[in-house]
Amino acid sequence: MLKAADAGDDEAHGALVLRAYGGWGAVSLVESAGAVSLMERAAGPDLAAMVLAGQDDQATAIICDVVGQLHEVDCDWPELIPIPRRTDDLRRHLAEGRVGAADLPLMARAAAVADEMCTDSRGEWRLLHGDIHHFNILQSARGWLAIDPKGIRGPAVYDYANALCNPYMETGIVADSVRMARAAAIMAERAGVERQVLLRWTFVHGAQCAAWSLAAPDQGYWLACAEVAGGLAGVV
């Protein structure tokens, strides 16, 4: 599979991360030049298909297993995106008054929680994939493998937060407090992450995605995810 990322995209350093993984839990990198990568192809189904087939819990367990493999590798390079930078757009939109009145309380609360979580977790930062979700884990001849890493530097638990907000745009499944609570419990047990911390990061992640989608059709989806996670975390 040949992938050409934009030089300014947050996946521009994906080859660096794949090289670090060395095929462990992720597709193998064959060669790269700048933001262009030639990598192993994982052509099997993704985890979203499993969720839609009624195997949500099994898909969540696979996510935990794959992320667990990825987290056996750690490094600290200047190219990695520090976790506070992920919420820059959220803070900027708030500062510039671009957030609507109806969404302002949730977005402002998310920015405050993000600052608190980043400060509290600073000593635990490590290499993260940065974009773990049901479409970025594919089946291959070697088993389930992650694709398209962004390369984030932050706490391990953050790699699970995006998965709680997915499969993307399946609002009836994702923005459901019973489903999210169950998935969070599976992650807490299988991955050894703290459930409430996971839900707080999921709240932050949903809000920051809403900030990235400020004028996009999926903003309501991300706000719904953030509201459910924030309710379960007790922060909204």
Asked whether 10 and 150 are in contact (CB, 8 A), the reply is: yes
- Across-strand partners of 143? 140
Find the helix or strand (DSSP H, E) in which 221 lies: helix 219-233
Catalytic residue, from 131, 159, 176, 218: name it: 131
Per DSSP, 31 falls in state E
What are the E-state strand segments in the chain? 2-4, 29-33, 36-39, 81-82, 126-128, 137-140, 143-146, 152-154
- Say whether 9 sits in a helix, a strand or coil: coil
What is the pairing mode between strands 126-128 and 137-140? Answer: unpaired
Residues 6+ apart with CB under 8 A from 229: 164, 165, 180, 199, 200, 202, 203, 206
Give the Cβ contact number of residue 43 at 10 Å. Answer: 10
DSSP state string for 118-155: HHHTGGG-EEE-S---TTSEEEETTEEEE-----EEE-
Give the Cβ contact number of residue 189 at 10 Å. Answer: 12
**Which phi and psi (to 5°) does residue 14 adopt?**
-60, -35
Catalytic, 131? Answer yes
List the catalytic residues: 131
